[in-house]
Amino acid sequence: MNKKIILQDLGLKDYKNTWDFQTDLLQETVDIKISNRRNDKFETTNNHFLFVEHPHVYTLGKSGDLSNLLLNENQLKEKGATFYKINRGGDITYHGPGQIVGYPILDLENFFTDIHKYLRLLEETIILTITEYGLKGTRSKGETGVWLDVGTPFARKICAMGIRSSRWVTMHGFALNANTNLGYFDNIIPCGIRGKAVTTMEAELGKKVDLEEVKQKILKHFKNLFEVEEYIIK
């Protein structure tokens, strides 16, 4: 089992271009797995982890409700935002500058074959990361992601998650609101959940956070939880 991960930070990158890139990496891995089984051989598959920031964009998961987008096409243009209906789980979310988006493209057969465990470890990665900043992140039953003050009238989401998997290969991932402009969430019903707010690390701490520092903490906890052998920086 290959527990090394190829790490790339794509910087600020268009959503569709990044989605296509993820798809190519996933398909490359799936093709190797199919070939291995057909030809009774064993070629090692790669694992990838992409960090990225996106220009303003709204994405709707495959089971999402379009009515949760509260803007029409002209209003999207006025906001300088784009919209895509995509192939991950979950409903609608927003990506934009100041948000840390992580896309692990892992062959889970290199780690464990359990999607539920995968999502819980992604959540735990973020929970442990924000704990280092004095923020108590928790899970909300039936609502994937990381939340603050669950079970109170002040429950608010700080990190959204949605994934896709094919033959145990993952894509898409998490979006941690670090220094994100919360105003853009007013244009959607985030994740299709009414009556619950969205927050950022900046809003909770009263100051901007260093995005590179947060990324390093994410990688540290991800490595420990997934028992990653090493990151190979590309």
Which residues are known to be catalytic?
191
Q: What angle in degrees, to the nearest 10, is found between the helix axes of 115-131 and 211-226?
A: 140
Q: Give dist(CA 175, CA 126) in Å, integer.
A: 10
In contact, 178 and 209? CB cutoff 8 Å: yes
Q: Give dist(CA 102, CA 135) in Å, integer.
A: 20
DSSP state of 86: -
By C-alpha distance, which of 154, 170, 152, 153 is closest to 162?
A: 170
Q: Give dist(CA 96, CA 187) in Å, integer.
A: 13
User: What distances in angstroms separate CA 106 from CA 1, 101, 152, 167, one per listed residue?
Assistant: 12, 16, 35, 11
Q: What tokens does 45 get?
A: 């598959």
DSSP state of 189: -
Tokens 């998650």, residue located:
161
